[in-house]
Amino acid sequence: MRIAIIHTVGSPCRCAEYIAGGLKTLGHEPVILNADGIEARAREISQTCGLVIDHTDTFRGRGLFRSYVRLILETHGVPLAGSGSKACLLADHKTLAKTRLSGSGIPTPPGITVASLDFTIPEWLQPPFIVKPAFEHMSRGLCRAMTEKDLKHTVARLLHDLSQPVMIEMYIPGRELAVSVLDGSDGLEVLPPLEWLPGTTGSILTEPFKLKERVGELNDAAKAELPPDLHSELAGLARLAFRTLGLRDYARFDVRLSPGGTFYFLEANITPSLEPLEALALSAQWSGIDYPGLLDRILTAALKRCKDSSAAGRQTTTVRLSTGPVTLETPEGVHAPTASSAQLANHIDIRPGDCVLDLGCGSGVISIAAAKLGARLVMATDLNPDALDATRANASKNSVQEKVVTIASSWYDGLEEHILRMHGIRQFDVIIATPPQTPGPKMFGPKYGGPHGIDKFMAIIEGITPFLEPKSGRLWLLAITLADTATLLSQLRQKFLDVSIVNETERVFTCDEYNALEPGLFAYLSMLRDAGIADFRDLGNVTCTFRNLLIRASGLRSL
């Protein structure tokens, strides 16, 4: 699988190179990209990469903006390893993250956040102070102020240099721990914590310390030795913090263990370094997971989640046709094939060699049926790119992909002469449509068909002459009697020599079903029925039924 590793513009990509090496060991094809121009490149990434590991630390110079990289990728449907953009934004907004963690019962260092020099230190907040920008990572700007005078000077510098709020926290003495969490098939696993050793960190982990390249023997960290009760407490807090912030797949928490035995969660890191001698990889190693195995755990969790998410938004339907059953997958936002669509698919009179136009293809059941019935070529049109992609995928799934062509079009708009000529089409032998046709007093969604439900039908009928073979060509429509089918049939008879209702079936519905589309819609339908426009009958207990009409028209009248 091709996996993109994205890193901060202009930063060393040493970590990305380690990740790439591990991915190659696992048999994947890594590609290292920087975040520059992500808006323009996201679509290409979605089409060429099966997964993305976003290791961006800042975007356009700001830590808080890095969630934008994930947001852009998500909007293009790119599967991401690790936390999503919303969780990234929450975790990176350190003030808000502290509020969420504290609200869940997780201890955090008491402190305040200031946005100007006009602030007063509360009496409960005593020096020494920890001072840090609210939205940065890698301990960027982190320092300790020993007096209130030092504090004012430090805050002024950070406000000027970084143009963002500044957090002032109580300094927590004690042991500095890195607590890593991996998601997996058995739930959240808290790995053995790493402890930064006294004397090597200067009591706080500054940016230079975190940027230091670790090679050879590790001398500034070790596996933390904790009594079983404290280890159990820490693991429980880490799992709770992971869930509270909505994190995914992997993360690391910076934690202080005070001399009194309290674990203070300093911050969450959704992109902990994945270098082999950094905290996450070392903790994994102490848990019996080697470096490639760690990457594999992260990929497995991400791919399973993406697969489950994709499956949750897709519907699989089997439709029994006269040529045999076909199976279709329908993504969220695309209409799944209905019983009436299957009936239409089993009635259309396709002759060997016909050219067929499927207007509004949805998930592709009509196109696939026409192809299996012997059509030479089926042109499937829709305005929804997801519907076009679904039709193409379902045609391939049912082995008729060579006969089905998808075109982005609203009715006949996209059927330019050069497109038809390219596919060897002068006019179509069969045109099939099941347009939106639910009547309503105003626009309410994709099922809306105009005040009387036949606006889309009228557009199809009025524009059909250049596209349908005049003598032997056939138009097939599926219409519901909630719409003004009397006027529809009248318009068809003015346009065609032969118009017939080939089949009728009943469809049961409830008033709540239509009121869910638009409040008060059932009352509007009842008004249309009282006026002789719509036709449906009451069955009692707020249940009603209308009719599905399969209509065939042929023999275009001469102008």
Band (311; pLDDT cuts 50, 70, 90)? low
What contacts 24+ positions apart, CB below 8 Å, involve 209-213?
209/139, 210/138, 210/139, 211/138, 213/14
Band (201; pLDDT cuts 50, 70, 90)? very low
Query: 378-417: per-residue pLDDT in tens?
Result: 999 998 888 898 999 999 999 999 999 999 888 898 898 8
- The predicted pLDDT at position 559 comes to 64
Cβ neighbours, 10 Å, residue 431: 24
Residue 16 CA to residue 34 CA, distance in Å, equals 10
Residue 160 CA to residue 370 CA, distance in Å, equals 68
Main-chain phi, psi angles of 279, to 5 degrees? -55, -45
Residue 227 CA to residue 222 CA, distance in Å, equals 16
Asked if the 2-81 domain carries CATH number 3.40.50.20, the reply is yes
Strand 355-359 and strand 377-382: pairing? parallel
- The predicted pLDDT at position 202 comes to 46
- pLDDT, mean of residues 471-488: 97
Query: 512-549: per-residue pLDDT in tens?
Result: 999 999 999 999 999 999 999 999 999 988 899 999 99
Query: 419-476: per-residue pLDDT in tens?
Result: 899 999 999 999 999 999 999 999 888 899 999 999 999 999 999 999 999 999 999 9
Residue 507 CA to residue 515 CA, distance in Å, equals 17
β-bridge mates for residue 195, sequence order: 177, 222
Following DSSP, what letter does each residue of 249-309 receive, concatenated?
SEEEEEEEE-TTS-EEEEEEESS---STTSHHHHHHHHTT--HHHHHHHHHHHHHHHHHHH
- pLDDT, mean of residues 11-26: 85
Architecture category of domain 90-287 in CATH: 2-Layer Sandwich (3.30)
- pLDDT, mean of residues 326-355: 91
Residue 249 CA to residue 72 CA, distance in Å, equals 20
Residue 140 CA to residue 484 CA, distance in Å, equals 67
- pLDDT, mean of residues 281-286: 96
Query: Which CATH class, in words, describes the domain spanning 313-556?
Result: alpha beta
Write out the two tokens for 509. Answer: 């519905």
Residues of the chain with CATH 3.30.470.20: 90-287
Q: Which helix (H) or strand (E) holds 318?
A: strand 314-321
Q: Do residues 364 and 394 make contact, with C-beta atoms less than 8 angstroms apart?
A: yes
Band (235; pLDDT cuts 50, 70, 90)? very high
- Residues near 21 by beta carbon (within 8 Å), at least 6 away in sequence: none
Band (60; pLDDT cuts 50, 70, 90)? confident
Q: Do residues 292 and 233 make contact, with C-beta atoms less than 8 angstroms apart?
A: no
Residues of the chain with CATH 3.40.50.20: 2-81
- The predicted pLDDT at position 312 comes to 58
Band (200; pLDDT cuts 50, 70, 90)? very low
Of residues 81, 75, 68, the one with CA closest to residue 28: 81
Higher-confidence residue of 7 and 215: namely: 7
CB-side exposure of 269: number of CA atoms within 13 Å? 23
H-state helical runs in 346-454:
365-372, 385-397, 417-422
**Mean pLDDT for the chain?**
90
